[in-house]
Structure formats: C-alpha cells, structure tokens
Amino acid sequence: MSTTESTAIAGETTLTSVNPATGDVIATHPIADEQAVHAAVAKARTAAATWGTLTYADRKRYLLRWASRLVAKSDELCDLIHAENGKTRDDAFLELMLTLEHISWAAKNAEKVLKTKKVSPGALMSNFGAYIEQRPLGVIGVIGPWNYPIYTPNGSIAYALAAGNTVVYKPSEYSTGIGNFVAKAFAEANPELPDGVFTTINGYGATGAALVKADIDKVAFTGSAATGKKIMAAAADRLTPVLLECGGKDAVIVAADADIKAAADAVAYGATMNSGQTCAGVERVYVDASIKDQFVAEVKKILTSVHPGSDDKASYGPMTMPSQIDIVRRHIEDALKNGGTAVLGGPDSISGPYIEPVVLVDVDESSAAVREETFGPTVTIRTVKDVDEAVELANNSTYSLGSAVFSRKHGLEIARRIKAGATSVNSVLGFAAISALPFGGGRDSGIGRIHGAPGMLEFTAPHSIAVQRFTIPGMALLSYARTESTMKLLRRVVPLLHGRHK
C-alpha cells in the first residue's frame, strides 16, 4: 500500500485536498506538527475528566444527537465524500447509513456491554463480593484510511466515545475534509460539551506518527499492514496498546451446490464496488470445476455492464489514491505472465483515474494478484476440484480478514473451516453491516476487533474489585492472624475441591 509518511515534505505546513476524478483543489488544511498534536491530546485529556464520568444515558443522548446532525447534513456530507473520495453519491449515502447504524448501536448498547458484572468469588473466598468494572482508557488516538472515510474510523470513534473515552482523530490525507466534517458535526450537535471530546488533527503520516508517540492510552489504526507494523513498533516505546485494522485478500468459495447466479452477482459487486478499494472486498474466488464455466460467464455478463465514472450513472468512482493505479496494473500484468487469462478487461482497462472491471481466470497462486492486496476492481477466479481444495487455497494467505461461502446445503459447515475474522454465507460483506458482529482479522489483517461488544471492550480496561463483606473467624487467609487449625482445615478441603478428578 501507500507509504504516505514519505509524502510529507519537510517543512510543509499545509495539506491540499484534491478531487481524484478532476484534480481540482477542494481545500487546504493546516498540518498539525508535534506541538499541535500534543496540545490536542492534552485538551482531550482534560475533556476526558468530564466525558468519562457522564452516565451512559447522557453519552447516549450526545451520540444520538451527533447521528441526527449527520442526517440533517447528509446531502452536504455525501457531496463532500463524492468530491474528496470519488465514490458515487449513492455509495456515500450507504456508507453514511452504516455509520449511523454503528453510532446508534454503540450509544444504545454501551451500558449493557460495560455494566458492572458480579462474579463468583469461589468457595475459599466466599466472604467476598467480586465485581468487574469496565473503565474507559482515557484518550484514544484514532488514525484512519480514506477508502471508507466515515464508516471505517467510526468503528473506533463511536465505540471509544460510547465507552467514555475522548478521541483525537487523524483522518487520512486523502479524506481530511470528510474527517473534519464529521468531528465538526459532533461539536455542532453538542455545544454544551467541553472542547476536546472528539477532535481532529490533520496531516500526513508524520502527524499520525506524532499521535502514536503522544500521551494517549490506545491507538486505533485502520490502514495498510505496512503502516500497522510501523505503528506497533512505535507504540512499543510507551507500551501503548494498539488496535490494528489492516488489509485483506478475501477469498470466496463457490461450492458445487451454490446458487450460481446469486454467487456471481455477489462476487461481481464485492470485487468492484468502491473501485475494489474495500479491505474486505472480494479479491480471490475458488469455484468448483463442475460449475466454473457457468459461473465465470455469469460474472462476466454482469460486469460487462458495470463501468466507473463520476456521473450519476457510474457504478463506481475513480481510484482515490493515484499510486494505487500502478499496483493494480502490476497485478494484472503479473497475473497474465503467470498463466492467467483475462476473460474481461486487462491492462488496457486502466484509463486515467478510472479502472474498468477486470476478471482474471486460473492465475498461478504464487502471483502478486493472488498473494498481495490489489485494492482495485479486479478479481481472480480459480477452478478447484472440491471444497477441501478451496478451503486449503483460501486459507493459504498472510491475510485473514473477511471471506464468503456460497453453498445451498453446507454454507455454515464450510464457513467454520475458513481462517478469517468473518465469513458471509450466501452473501458478501453481510458481517460488515451487522453492528453487533465484531470485525477484524489476524496476521497481516491486524490485531483486535471493532464493532459489537468485543469492539466496545477494546476501549476499556477491566477493574477488578474484591469487597470483603464479613470476616470468618479463624479464616483470615491473607493475614498473619491465620491459625494452625485454619491450615489444617485447608489441607483437608483443598484435596476435596481439586484432587478428585481422574
């Protein structure tokens, strides 16, 4: 992926946001230097003293007001997303809709997920009450990507806020205006809150790097695996915990008993929507040999009438980040060199910032198009002899984010064999639209989860509280007042409790 850090020119003080379709300048933003990053974190620290002690009901009210403010400004926001990111206005609206679902879920479920839990103290400590309280961490540094500029970072922002943390957010340099719009809407919706509950700092990778080193309590990063590794290394200095949502190379398995048309429809959409710039988009397909020809023909038929553009008829927009176009071109050329056949499109499908859909069949599994994240509107389709081979190939990746299975009878069974953070059965990306389901992956796809209860718990630390409710005479285990008869009793009781299992 990109090495955005290197694009920050030493001494540069502003960042220019550009429309990826036209090259027109949208806005210029001041870049936050180290001092500005520290000031933002200090302000968030002060605000945390207020925000973190509000009731869940209060925070819910503020978060839902923010959601309503985003709804009220949805036309303006979708226009800005269309201009700064390039995606279609409809896709921008769908992204907003999913974002609102998550804000609402986080606001309404925080208390249920985080409320104090009473646990059993165990027989030997039965005079105690034992409680787990989930405390907010304090200040969360959120670093976001550009491909889903509101949905993706919001998976951290809304959940961190709902759990009682304040947030300092550095949007991607390719979606700075959008990031600031969302934070401004929070402040506009909640003028009575102190400054610093949710603020942005703008800049390139260097600003993100300064945030990672600042006095924050966790960094929640979404972006490429390469940047995720740098962030984890930098965070080690202060042992700052990390949540890393990185890339994917998601596989789809199409079994012999799949509904071929439904599978083709989902694959065609999942591979190309948002110009293929989706972390959990479809990149690889493994299809049973018995249905391969029909499936490939169906995918081709659908994608023949799918085209990128910037008008209202476009199926998807331009590539947001110019440097990604070279990666997509390299993957297509490498696939064709490695025995693959392009049944739709090819290197000529790239024209300016737009890439027409490309379908590559039976590419060698060692080629870049199969091993690396392509992040473009391309897909590889490989024929397999059975589900076992499909599962083996699907799992043979350094990434493990999303996945999908198409099978009329064995969907769940096959899903359970896939090494991934999430699997959709008979759909693609279903898991990303269900707020209660955690989202994230392992290995090069990252560490930790956003969304749902696990995503909320990421932004808290358990505080264990043991309350001695009464003393048992002679049973003062944690005291020099312990008697010899207590020890005798324990020596009789412990084998009864733990020594009877054969």
- Report the catalytic residues: 245, 279
Q: Which is nearer to ligand NAD, 136 or 208 (CB)?
A: 208
Which residue's C-beta sits nearest to ligand NAD? 208
- Give the side-chain half-sphere CA count within 13 A for 422: 28
Q: Which is nearer to ligand NAD, 109 or 202 (CB)?
A: 202
Nearest distance from C-beta of residue 358 to ligand NAD, angstroms: 18
Burial of 312 (0-12, 13-18, 19+ CB in 10 A): exposed
Nearest distance from C-beta of residue 347 to ligand NAD, angstroms: 22
Residues near ligand NAD (CB under 6 A) are 1-2, 4-5, 143-148, 152, 170, 172-173, 204-205, 208-209, 212, 222-224, 227, 230-231, 245-248, 279, 373, 401, 446
Instruction: Say how far residue 217 (Cα) sits from the centre of its chain.
Output: 19
Nearest distance from C-beta of residue 321 to ligand NAD, angstroms: 6
Instruction: Quickly count: other Cβ atoms within 10 Å of residue 108's Cβ.
Output: 15
**Which DSSP string do the residues of 302-321 spell out, in sequence order?**
HHHT--B-SSTT-SB---SS
Per the CB < 8 A criterion, the answer to whether 141 and 238 are in contact is no
Q: Which is nearer to ligand NAD, 228 or 346 (CB)?
A: 228
SS3 254: strand
Cα four-point dihedral sign 191, 196, 198, 203 = positive
Nearest distance from C-beta of residue 7 to ligand NAD, angstroms: 9
Cβ-proximal residues to 145 (8 Å cutoff; 6+ apart), any chain: 152, 153, 172, 175, 222, 223, 224, 279
Per the CB < 8 A criterion, the answer to whether 456 and 469 are in contact is no
Nearest distance from C-beta of residue 328 to ligand NAD, angstroms: 13
Cα four-point dihedral sign 323, 329, 332, 337 = negative
Q: Which is nearer to ligand NAD, 193 or 235 (CB)?
A: 235
Q: Which is nearer to ligand NAD, 43 or 449 (CB)?
A: 449
